[in-house]
Amino acid sequence: MSYEVKLNDRLARVEVINQDGNQLLVSVDGKEYELDFVQIGKGSYSILHKNRSYNVELIPVNGIKRYQAHTLQNSFDVEIIDAESKYIASRKREHDAADEAVISSPIPGRVVSIMVSEGETVEAGQSLVIISAMKMESEFRAPRAGKVISVMVTEGQSVEARQELVLLEYS
Sequence ranges of the chain with CATH classification 3.30.700.30: 2-89
Radius of gyration of the chain (CA): 24
DSSP state of 121: E
Q: Does 171 or 139 have the greater pLDDT score? A: 139
Sequence ranges of the chain with CATH classification 2.40.50.100: 100-170
Alpha helix (H) residue ranges in the chain? 83-97
Distance CA 85, CA 63 (A): 10
pLDDT, the chain, mean = 88
Q: Does 41 or 83 have the greater pLDDT score? A: 41
Distance CA 163, CA 160 (A): 5
Distance CA 131, CA 120 (A): 20
In Å, how far are 38, 76, 80, 114, 167 from 132, measured between CA atoms? Answer: 47, 44, 40, 12, 20
Pick the CATH number of 100-170 from 2.60.120.10, 3.30.70.2860, 2.40.50.100, 3.30.300.180: 2.40.50.100
* pLDDT (0 to 100) of residue 51: 92
* pLDDT (0 to 100) of residue 31: 96
Pick the CATH number of 2-89 from 2.40.50.90, 3.30.700.30, 3.30.470.20, 3.40.50.300: 3.30.700.30
pLDDT, tens digit, 9 for 90 and up, residues 58-115: 988 876 788 899 998 899 999 888 777 776 666 666 555 556 688 888 888 999 999 9
Quick check: 46 pLDDT over 90? yes
Mean pLDDT over 18-47 rounds to 94
* pLDDT (0 to 100) of residue 38: 95
Q: Count of CB atoms within 10 A of residue 102's CB?
A: 14
* pLDDT (0 to 100) of residue 49: 96
Per-residue pLDDT band at 171 (split at 50, 70, 90): confident
pLDDT, tens digit, 9 for 90 and up, residues 116-164: 999 999 999 999 999 998 888 889 999 889 999 999 999 999 998 888 8
pLDDT, tens digit, 9 for 90 and up, residues 1-25: 788 999 888 999 999 999 999 999 9
